[in-house]
Structure 1
Amino acid sequence: MEIFEVAYAPPRSSDEFVLCIGKFDGVHIGHQAVIRTARQYAGSGQLGVISLWPHPRWTLQRDPDYQRALTPVREKRRLLEQYGVDRLYEIDFTEEYAKTSPEIFVLEHLAGLNLKRVVVGDGFNFGKGVHSTTDELVELCSRIGVPVTVVPPVTVNERVVSSSDIRCHVKAGRVEAAQALLGRPYTLTGEVVHGAGLGRKLGFPTANLGGIDDFVLPAPGVYEGIAEIHSVKATDNTYWYTLISAGYRPTVNGTSYEVEAYLIDFDGDLYGKDLSVSFLRRARDEIQFTTTEALIEQMRVDEQLARDRFGLHKS
């Protein structure tokens, strides 16, 4: 996938392609419907996406709920490429860029691209003040000879799938509900860093995940999931059923939010490796135990329950 980091206007293009436009935070099942529709129009040709980062509600309002993302830049790139996008235009959404009018966006920025068609989701807003509608997009694009397709929203239980709802689910620990709307498990990707080594001392060596400050973080608790250990070649990646501890570790007087993964039956050195942990099920709340022994006993129970659910048996 070709990536363009855009400060203002995308570079002009002579190659014809179909373009999707949106924030695409989460790349959820609604976003995937837009991408699939665009791919149908593109056929064997090129498919492009214009996306924004940071989220406009962080840039313009400093809304703390939007400082983090369901899919920060590196994760969004990986997913969009996986879903068949050939070129990605990443708009650096600054306060200055937010002043761009709908007319400039379409008649100058999009006009510089050789577009076969534009595809957006229903409810798409664009341009200064984000008051412009899909109807205006259709009218403006008609001036540059580009047809627009508006994809109907995807609903679950008659509620439109939205990144906002998924954020709420993740932050509340409802990772099963988040998975239903994302079309895949909610996943954090980071680098394994050195921690205090307490897990190893307790008999449960864990991988401490660093570099996840840009992600929306799940509610404190213990989760069952799967971990992907990244290699230089993606075909060499390996996967392990995993217990994930997310939270503040109150039993050992922890003060900062940490994500630690116990890869069941794994034996090896993970330090410095990239690791993705996917949250499949919330097993329990984070608990403050009165003794270390009580914590160890609960960890044994957690592991056995996970083994039973995953069909794993100790050798």
Structure 2
Amino acid sequence: MVMEGQAPVSPAPQVLAIGKFDGVHLGHRAILNAARDLQAPDERLAVMSFEPHPTYALTGNPEYARWLTPRRERVRIFKELGVDAFYVARFDRPFQQLEPAAFVDGYLVPLRVRHVVVGPDFRFGRGGQGTVDVLRDLGRNRGFDVHVVEPVEEHGHKISSSRIREHLREGRVEAALALLGRPYVISGQVVHGDKRGRTLGFPTANLGGIDEYVLPKSGVYAVFVEVEEAEGACSAHAFGVLNAGYRPTVDGRSFQLEVHLLGFDGDLYGKTLRVSFLRRIRDEMKFDGLEALKGQIARDCEAARSMVGLTSGLPSA
């Protein structure tokens, strides 16, 4: 539910976790777990996030115009984690100018929150005036308490969305997986391409509608692909080989994601694919003609099979 102006009145008391939740990584999951531990039988577990990304809204940094987990992906993950309600506050200019007390009265009190769970760096209100201590003071007079969850670390470093973004920029999808607690996922609809892969004997699905996602470094990756149907159900799945980049051998001019599904035979046009990045195989490179490219794709497929422990692609379910 997108909230503009103020929050709706909740039908039930709630435990509310607040944050950007971009990535819903292991640090975010610690916040959600803490909120769940506070939940009483009559309370709902809820999450509040913000759009556009606050970093983009405040700085204009184009990197943050894209998300690790666009809203659709966050909704899916939150459902899997047992979240009952997901609220999105519109992070526009009027919202940014709210005094801390106005934010609490307009966005938290109507939600009937009993507990609010945040990270230690949480800030709210005009100019970030609202600190955790300010939130505690405001909550004390409004019937809710505030719980702070300390950052989760990996090898002595705080798990953060910015670290995950950096790993993806460098193609380190396995390092991103370690911080996310799951593979990095991009969902997109299969659109028509130039069909050159089919002529090479390796038909590929070209993903469209991926402009909201942080994209990985150019290169070739071993991936796991799920074919989505209505309500997000999976109708088929397969391991695959994905090329991310500009396709220099055929003078490509735009960054594309093209995936070849191992052992899969079926029409994917118009379908939505959920692509999970497992391992990086190699850099993108230019070959001396299509035959050389074809030979390398065959080697990439064998490398992917070896990486995921297959002798053939996983057939459709």
User: How would you bin the TM-score normalised by the shorter chain?
Assistant: over 0.9
Q: Which runs of 5+ in 1 are unaligned?
A: none
Question: 224, 227, 236: which one pairs with 1:226?
Answer: 224
Cα drift, residue 43 of structure 1 = 4.3
User: Are residue 9 (structure 1) and residue 6 (structure 2) matched?
Assistant: yes
TM-score, normalised to structure 1, is 0.95
CA distance in 1, matches of 2:227, 2:17: 31
221 and 190 in structure 1: CA distance in 2 versus 1, 3 angstrom threshold: same
Cα drift, residue 309 of structure 1 = 2.5
Q: Secondary structure at the match of 1:123?
A: coil
Q: Which moved more, 1:216-225 or 1:127-136?
A: 127-136
User: What residue is the counterpart of 1:294 in the other structure?
Assistant: 292
Q: Which moved more, 1:125-134 or 1:145-154?
A: 125-134
Q: Which amino acid aligns with 1:171?
A: R
Q: Deviations over 1:74-101 (max 9, x none)?
A: 1111111111110111112112211112
Q: Deviations over 1:108-156 (max 9, x none)?
A: 3212221121111121111111242211111111110201111111011
1:40-55 equivalences in 2 (<5 Å): 40-44=37-41, 45-55=43-53
CA distance in 2, matches of 1:116, 1:237: 41
36 and 237 in structure 1: CA distance in 2 versus 1, 3 angstrom threshold: farther
Q: Secondary structure at the match of 1:57?
A: helix
CA distance in 2, matches of 1:211, 1:130: 34
Q: Secondary structure at the match of 1:96?
A: helix
Over the matched positions of the two proteins, sequence identity in percent amounts to 46
User: What residue is the counterpart of 1:93 in the other structure?
Assistant: 91
Question: 31, 51, 75: which one pairs with 2:28?
Answer: 31
Q: Secondary structure at the match of 1:267?
A: coil
CA distance in 1, matches of 2:34, 2:156: 21
CA distance in 1, matches of 2:24, 2:127: 24
Is the 2:226–2:234 Cα contact (8 Å) retained in structure 1?
no
CA distance in 1, matches of 2:62, 2:309: 41
CA distance in 2, matches of 1:276, 1:12: 35
User: What residue is the counterpart of 2:137 in the other structure?
Assistant: 139
Q: Which amino acid aligns with 2:215?
A: L
CA distance in 2, matches of 1:189, 1:168: 20
User: What residue is the counterpart of 1:172 in the other structure?
Assistant: 170
Is the 2:8–2:110 Cα contact (8 Å) retained in structure 1?
yes
Is the 2:222–2:307 Cα contact (8 Å) retained in structure 1?
no
User: What residue is the counterpart of 2:198 in the other structure?
Assistant: 200
Cα drift, residue 212 of structure 1 = 0.3
Is the 1:107–1:141 Cα contact (8 Å) retained in structure 2?
no
CA distance in 2, matches of 1:114, 1:225: 43
CA distance in 2, matches of 1:195, 1:184: 30
1:244-255 equivalences in 2 (<5 Å): 244-255=242-253
User: What residue is the counterpart of 1:241 in the other structure?
Assistant: 239
43 and 195 in structure 1: CA distance in 2 versus 1, 3 angstrom threshold: farther
Cα drift, residue 290 of structure 1 = 1.8
Q: Which amino acid aligns with 2:261?
A: L
Question: 261, 267, 273: which one pairs with 2:259?
Answer: 261
Is the 2:219–2:280 Cα contact (8 Å) retained in structure 1?
yes
User: What residue is the counterpart of 1:103 in the other structure?
Assistant: 101
CA distance in 2, matches of 1:43, 1:227: 38
User: What residue is the counterpart of 1:68 in the other structure?
Assistant: 66
Regions of 4+ moved over 2 Å: 232-238, 308-315
Q: Which amino acid aligns with 1:7?
A: E
Is the 1:169–1:175 Cα contact (8 Å) retained in structure 2?
yes
Q: How many residues align?
A: 312
Q: Which moved more, 1:147-156 or 1:119-128?
A: 119-128
TM-score, normalised to structure 2, is 0.95
Cα drift, residue 234 of structure 1 = 4.6
CA distance in 2, matches of 1:24, 1:234: 21
